[in-house]
């Protein structure tokens, strides 16, 4: 035998090797595993970095901060994911899910008791929960949380708390045992579910004790923390966090990333959380997030702009989610404006703007036009008026309304092509908004639609940055100083399912920001209606849901009659993730709620 | 020289005091106030608002606020962020190493490339090579950094990934996931990954600087090369390299030193646009973010440090003149 190999054998070997090599190099077929798999890291991009780990409704109110701390910090309750099923006629409590408590306290289940004008709420707490540093969670933590917010220092709190509203209605907290906390309110407080719930709803007693032994300011006093597998060291609670959630704090490199690692002792069980690590990467803007999705540098991008929807739709390996918010992009109407104080003109404007066209063309049909009075939408839908008014787009009717009211279309003179009011003045309105591209596109549509009924929009592109738009009334902020005719922006619920968090501050006459009231409130339209005030007052003083709903229906009817705003469309959150991520559910509030269920499927 | 340096430092103190007062006053009169964002909460009561205004000292008269700030400054306390509650010094300490790395790398690269280009362009004045380098320099100067940065991201990162399945360079950041370090804690992470992330922002910064510096060097060299002592050196039979480098370049250094002295603060201030485009967590982004929020104590801290660096940079340049040209005397 010689060493020579037959030619046919060599060809066969080469062909086989080539086939094997090609098979190895070819992209594997993508199969989506439906059963969750443990392990893996997930990188989430976001264009906003939290200033502080306390920025989720403690020292400021930043929704993005709530998102990143949410996997680590829990509250007594959390909110249901947007696509989770609701009963046919949902109650307020149906939007909430027990987290560190075992049930949602309501009047019906006896956990809420009203006696005269006082109220007690009993929180039944989950057993077997530990803080990330190994200290057991008990009712002491709930009591310490209420002490921290109000009972220990009242209005002399050394921590710069963003708002003590609601907490100041609490008289005392009893802890009959380790797993029961009874909160005694000095008055009936309908929004009691907003206290102690959501991310960072409960603070750890043992760390608060460290702070209280010093100055009592949690932004100033360092605490010593040791999280097995996570962070160890000493810093203020601005920079470190110890929670009970499925992920534990490991590190935060400012300007770059935040790392959370798996909590192997999480109370949720079932092998969850599945991921070993979540890394939140802080980007400069939403376009960078998009580039990172395109290059597979990140697995998920949070808080993208609706204007990026067309680009996202071209990414075949990315799933884009639009989540309807309890919020509305709308036009605020300055009711003290010479022209706009006439409800006929406001009604004509409402009828003349083709809002569905804005939804279909600028938002690719991913949202809806809300009812005229939109205070009970999405998580607030439990109080929606069943006969809520939806004014249709009708230019002919709008023109007739104006003609009948004495607004004359001019064919010559300085108002040529536009209307004059019954006093003969040209109807000119100034529309202002922030400098977002989508808003400027909306402005074009609105200016064009209103020109169709003879209303002239002046300075349509003299827009301002958000800081100028929403600046305080003392520093001349546009909307809080009422320095506008029509102002376009989005307003939203501060807390899930709680219309009081929006409606009272936006529509009650006591909430018109002025120097006299210390610039509080966000009633920017000068809405002042005794019937509406009464309904809003009564709704916040009742825990009986049917009573509250009745009051809110009265409020909605008044708002639909008065028309202090033109709702354009229901606001949407846009999020996108790589298709290898499984278990994702969209959340309007706090975005990363169900991170324990996330898994890498490939 | 020591007496001269000490005198210059003492002269700088009143100048810095005036600068601090002017900066403080400018921030006070800006229309956006820090509390615009800080106190923007619909649930806030009037009592909450009053408590917070007092906590942050916003309810104090201007002069009291300024004197408090200056008293703290004498204790090397640059105030604290209204939003993160961290001291300005610690915020700067977290970002400064990242900026020094980016700016320092691009600066060294700039000098290494721009000086030879400038010298060659001067020596070969009006040649095809000079015309080519001049054209290139004008293109480099004219390139807007934000546009150039975005183009590099699209051409060298996004498109290669979409068509070839890999990124030639990363889109942004300092490290990829799993390779992270923290320069403020002297942790380089994966140095190769860090170097890979440095390339694109480094190029964006360097291209414009190379263009500017090469023009300066060319112009300065042209002045020197026409001097009598250069002609004498050539007449003595010295090699072209020796004439150009030893007799020419050294004597052309004075304008370059001035430029380098002016650029010292830039090394610490960072590159606002480039850092923003490439999400580089440096001083430029800290400044931008603080300005956007109205975090005035951080802004003020950064600006006062920059003012000190401008003074120091000029002093260093003045001292370097003596090294470059022994005829210069310090009195």
Question: What is the Cα–Cα distance from A505 to B105, expressed in whole angstroms?
Answer: 53
Residue indicated by tokens 């809002």: A355
Q: Which residues pair with A278 in a beta bridge?
A: A42, A260
**Rounded Cα distance, A539 and A536, in Å:** 5
* DSSP H/E element including A500: helix A500-507
Identify the pLDDT of residue B42.
Answer: 76
CB contact under 8 A, A467 and B83: no
**A500 to chain B, closest Cα gap in Å:** 10
Cis peptide before A273 (omega within 30 of 0): yes
Q: At how many degrees (to 10) do helices A530-539 and A500-507 cross?
A: 150
Residue B95, C-beta contacts closer than 8 angstroms, at least 6 positions apart: A254, A255, B184, B270, B281, B282, B283, B285, B286
Instruction: Yes or no: say if A194 and A495 are a contact pair by the CB < 8 Å rule.
Output: yes
Contacts across the A-B interface (CB distance below 8 Å): 171
Give the nearest chain B residue to A296 (CA atoms). B161
CB-nearest to B38 from A60, A259, A296 is A60
Q: Measured between beta carbons, which residues in chain B are less than 8 angstroms from residue A258?
A: none
User: Do the strands A456-458 and A408-409 form a parallel or antiparallel pair, or are they unpaired?
Assistant: unpaired
Contacts of B91 in chain A (CB under 8 A): 254
**In this predicted structure, which of A159-168, A513-522, A568-577, B192-201 has the lowest mean pLDDT?**
A513-522
Whole-angstrom Cα distance, residue A138 to residue A152? 19
Name the residue among A475, A502, A506 with its Cβ closest to that of B33: A475
Per-residue pLDDT for A490 more than 70? yes
The answer to whether the Cβ–Cβ distance between B158 and A294 falls below 8 Å is yes
Nearest CA in chain B to A163: B44
Phi, psi (rounded to 5 degrees) for B297? -65, -35
In chain B, what is the straight-line distance between the N-terminal and C-terminal CA atoms, in Å? 8
Mutation site, A56, A160, A477, interface B, largest B CB count within 10 A = A160
Long-range contact pairs involving A440-445 (C-beta distance under 8 Å, separation at least 24): A441/A362, A442/A329, A442/A358, A442/A362, A442/A488, A442/A568, A443/A488, A445/A353, A445/A354, A445/A357, A445/A358, A445/A361, A445/A362
Interchain pair B172, A477: CB under 8 A? no
Mean pLDDT along residues A60-70: 93
C-alpha distances (whole Å) from B2 to each of B8, B256, B323 are 10, 23, 14
Contacts of B293 in chain A (CB under 8 A): 51, 467
What band does A7 get if pLDDT is binned at 50, 70 and 90?
A: low
Q: How far is CA A205 from CA A90, A144, A210, A242, in A?
A: 35, 5, 9, 11
Task: Give contacts of B187 with chain A, Cβ < 8 Å.
Answer: none
Which of A60, A164, A296 lies closest to B83 in CB terms?
A: A60
Facing residue for A288 by CB, picked from B33, B81, B172: B172
Cα torsion angle, A31, A34, A35, A38, sign: positive
Which one, of A396, A417, A419, lies nearest residue A339 by Cα?
A419
* Residue A97: band (very low, low, confident or very high) from pLDDT cuts 50, 70, 90: very high
What is the reported pLDDT for A25? Answer: 38
Q: What is the mean pLDDT of residues A548-552?
A: 97
Q: Considering only the beta carbons, identify the residue of B32, B91, B154 that sits closest to A475.
A: B32
Cite the beta strand spans of A47-145 per DSSP E.
77-79, 96-98, 112-115, 118-124
Q: A23 - beta bridge partners?
A: none
pLDDT at B31: 73
Nearest residue in chain A measured CA to CA from B36:
A471
Subunit contact A472:B39, Cβ cutoff 8 A: yes
Name which of B85, B95, B179 to mutate to probe chain A: the one with the most chain A Cβ atoms within 10 A of its Cβ. B85
Interface residue of A163, A164, A167, A198 to substitute, partner B, most B CBs within 10 Å: A163
Chain A residues close to B56, C-beta within 8 Å: 160
CA distance B43 to chain A (A): 6
Q: Is the pLDDT of residue A201 over 50?
A: yes
Is pLDDT larger for residue A403 or for residue A2?
A: A403
Residue in chain B nearest A40 by alpha carbon: B178
Q: Nearest by CB to B42, from A52, A288, A494: name it.
A: A494
pTM for the complete prediction? 0.88
What residues of A are in contact with residue B153 (Cβ under 8 Å)? 291
Q: Can you list the residues of chain B whose pLDDT is less than 70?
A: 331
Tens-place pLDDT, residues A278-326: 999 999 899 999 999 999 999 999 999 888 988 898 888 999 999 999 9
- The residue of A161, A164, A295 whose CB has the most chain B CBs within 10 angstroms, and thus the best one to mutate to test that interface, is A295
Q: Which two tokens stand for residue A526?
A: 């000068």
CA A421 to chain B, closest CA, distance in angstroms equals 35
Q: Say if CB B304 and CB B77 are below 8 A apart.
A: no
Degrees, nearest 5: CA angle A120-A200-A384: 60
Q: Which of A25, A44, A253, A501 to mutate to test the interface with B (most CBs of B within 10 A)?
A: A253
CB contact under 8 A, B40 and A470: yes
User: Are the C-beta atoms of A556 and A370 separated by less than 8 Å?
Assistant: no
Q: Compute the average pLDDT of residues A164-172.
A: 96
Q: Coil, strand, or helix at residue A288? A: helix
Give me the pLDDT at residue B4, please: 84
What does the DSSP 8-state code read for residue A193?
A: G
Q: Are strands A486-492 and A428-433 parallel, antiparallel or unpaired?
A: parallel
- Kindly tell me if the per-residue pLDDT of A29 is higher than 90: no
Q: What is the mean pLDDT of residues A546-563?
A: 97
- DSSP states of B148-204: HHHHHHIIIIIHHHHHHSS-SS-SSSSS-TT---BGGGTB--SHHHHHHHHHHHHHH
DSSP state at residue B30: S
Supply φ then ψ for residue B124, to 5 degrees: -100, 45
The answer to whether B294 contacts A519, with C-beta atoms less than 8 Å apart, is no
pLDDT of A566: 98
Per-residue model confidence (pLDDT) at position A19: 41
Do the chains contact at B41 and A61, CB–CB below 8 Å? yes
Q: A256–B167: do the CB atoms touch at under 8 Å? A: no
Query: Which residue reads 């400012």 in tokens?
Result: A254
> A184 pairs with which residues across the strands?
A120, A172
Chain A: give the shortest CA distance to residue B179, in Å.
12
- Subunit contact B171:A297, Cβ cutoff 8 A: yes
The reply to whether residue A295 touches residue B161, judged by beta carbons under 8 angstroms, is yes
User: Is A577 exposed, middle or buried, given 0-12, 13-18 or 19+ CB atoms closer than 10 A?
Assistant: buried
* Range from A70-84, A407-421, A508-522 carrying the lowest mean pLDDT: A508-522
Q: How far apart are CA A582 and CA A255, in angstroms?
A: 28
Task: Kindly identify which residue of chain A lies nearest to residue B184, measuring between CA atoms.
Answer: A253
* Distances in whole angstroms, Cα of residue B257 to Cα of each of A595, B248, B261: 56, 15, 6
Nearest-CA residue of chain A relative to B181? A253
pLDDT at A516: 83
The CA distance from A20 to A42, in Å, is 32
DSSP secondary structure string for all residues of A380-430 = GGGG--TT---PPP-HHHHHHHHHHTT-EEPSSSTTTTSEE-TTS-B-EEE
């Amino acid at each position: 035998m010689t060493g020579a190999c037959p030619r046919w054998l060599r060809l066969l070997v080469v062909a086989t090797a080539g086939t094997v090599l090609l098979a190895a190099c070819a992209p594997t077929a993508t199969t989506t595993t439906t059963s969750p798999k443990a392990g893996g890291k997930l990188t989430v991009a976001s264009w906003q970095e939290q200033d502080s780990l306390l920025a989720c409704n403690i020292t400021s109110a930043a929704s993005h901060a709530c998102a990143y701390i949410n996997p680590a910090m829990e509250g007594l309750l959390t909110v249901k994911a947007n696509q989770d099923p609701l009963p046919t006629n949902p109650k307020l409590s149906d939007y909430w899910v027990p987290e560190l408590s075992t049930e949602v306290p309501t009047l019906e289940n006896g956990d809420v008791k009203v006696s005269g004008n006082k109220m007690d709420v009993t929180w039944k707490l989950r057993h077997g929960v530990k803080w990330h540093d190994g200290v057991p969670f008990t009712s002491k933590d709930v009591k310490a949380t209420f002490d921290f917010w109000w009972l220990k220092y009242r209005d002399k709190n050394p921590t710069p708390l963003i708002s003590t509203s609601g907490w100041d209605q609490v008289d005392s907290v009893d802890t009959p045992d380790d797993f029961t906390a009874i909160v005694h309110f000095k008055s009936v407080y309908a929004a009691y579910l907003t206290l102690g719930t959501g991310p960072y709803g409960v603070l750890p007693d043992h760390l608060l004790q460290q702070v209280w032994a010093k100055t009592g300011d949690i932004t100033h006093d360092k605490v010593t923390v040791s999280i097995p597998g996570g962070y160890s060291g000493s810093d203020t609670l601005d920079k470190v966090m110890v929670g009970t959630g499925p992920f534990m704090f490991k590190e935060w490199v400012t300007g770059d990333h935040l790392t959370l690692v798996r909590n192997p002792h999480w109370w949720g069980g079932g092998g969850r959380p599945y991921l070993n690590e979540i890394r939140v990467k802080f980007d400069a803007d939403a376009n960078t997030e998009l580039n990172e999705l395109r290059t597979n540098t990140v697995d998920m991008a949070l808080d993208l702009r609706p204007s990026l929807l067309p680009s996202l739709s071209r990414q075949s390996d990315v799933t884009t989610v639009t989540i309807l918010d309890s919020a509305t992009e709308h036009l605020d109407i300055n009711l003290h404006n010479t022209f706009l104080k006439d409800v006929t003109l406001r009604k004509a404007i409402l009828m003349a703007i083709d809002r569905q066209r804005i939804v279909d063309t600028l938002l690719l049909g991913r949202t809806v036009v809300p009812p005229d009075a939109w205070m009970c939408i999405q998580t607030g839908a439990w109080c929606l008026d069943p006969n809520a008014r939806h004014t249709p787009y009708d230019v002919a009717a709008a023109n007739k309304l104006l003609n009948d009211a004495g607004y004359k279309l001019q064919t010559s003179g300085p108002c040529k092509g536009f209307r004059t009011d019954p006093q003969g003045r040209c109807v000119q309105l100034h529309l202002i908004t922030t400098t977002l591209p989508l808003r400027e596109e909306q402005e074009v549509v609105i200016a064009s639609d209103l020109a169709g009924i003879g209303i002239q929009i002046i300075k349509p592109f003299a827009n301002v940055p958000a800081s100028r738009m929403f600046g305080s009334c003392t520093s001349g902020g546009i909307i809080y100083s009422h320095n506008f005719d029509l102002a376009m922006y989005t307003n939203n619920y501060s807390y899930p399912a709680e219309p009081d968090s929006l409606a009272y501050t936006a529509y009650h006459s006591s909430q018109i920001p002025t120097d006299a009231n210390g610039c509080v409130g966000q009633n920017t339209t000068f809405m002042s209606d005794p019937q509406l005030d009464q309904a809003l007052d009564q709704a916040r003083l009742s825990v009986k849901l049917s009573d509250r709903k009745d009051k809110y229906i009265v409020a909605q009817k008044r708002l639909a009659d008065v028309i202090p705003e033109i709702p354009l469309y229901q606001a949407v959150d846009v999020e996108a993730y790589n298709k290898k991520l499984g278990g994702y559910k969209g959340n309007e509030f706090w975005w990363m709620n169900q991170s324990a269920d996330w898994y890498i499927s490939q | 020289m020591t007496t001269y340096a000490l005198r210059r430092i003492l002269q700088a103190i009143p100048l810095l005091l005036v600068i601090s007062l002017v900066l403080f006053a400018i921030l006070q009169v800006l229309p956006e106030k820090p509390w615009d964002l800080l106190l923007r909460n619909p649930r806030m009561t009037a009592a909450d608002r009053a408590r917070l205004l007092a906590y942050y000292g916003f309810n104090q008269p201007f002069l009291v606020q300024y004197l408090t700030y200056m008293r703290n400054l004498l204790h090397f306390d640059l105030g604290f962020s209204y939003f993160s509650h961290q001291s300005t010094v610690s915020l700067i300490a977290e970002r400064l190493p990242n900026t020094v790395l980016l700016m320092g790398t691009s600066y060294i690269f700039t000098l290494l490339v721009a000086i030879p280009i400038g010298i060659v362009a001067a020596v070969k004045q009006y040649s095809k090579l000079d015309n080519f380098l001049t054209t290139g320099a004008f293109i480099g100067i004219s390139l807007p950094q934000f546009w150039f940065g975005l183009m590099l991201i699209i051409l060298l990162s996004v498109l290669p990934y979409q068509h070839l399945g890999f990124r030639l360079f990363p889109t942004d950041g300092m490290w990829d996931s799993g390779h992270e370090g923290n320069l403020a804690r002297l942790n380089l992470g994966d140095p190769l990954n860090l170097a890979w992330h440095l390339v694109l922002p480094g190029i964006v910064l360097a291209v414009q600087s190379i263009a500017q510096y090469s023009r300066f060097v060319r112009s300065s060299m042209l002045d020197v090369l026409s001097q009598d002592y250069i002609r004498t050196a050539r007449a003595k039979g010295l090699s072209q390299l020796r004439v150009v480098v030893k007799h020419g370049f050294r004597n052309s250094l004075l304008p370059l030193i001035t430029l380098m002295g002016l650029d010292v603060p830039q090394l610490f201030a960072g590159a606002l646009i480039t850092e923003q485009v490439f999400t580089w967590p440096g001083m430029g982004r800290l400044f931008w973010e603080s300005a956007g929020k109205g975090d005035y104590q951080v802004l003020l801290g950064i600006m006062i440090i920059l003012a000190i660096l401008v003074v120091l940079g000029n002093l260093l340049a003045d001292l370097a003149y003596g090294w470059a040209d022994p005829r210069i005397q310090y009195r």
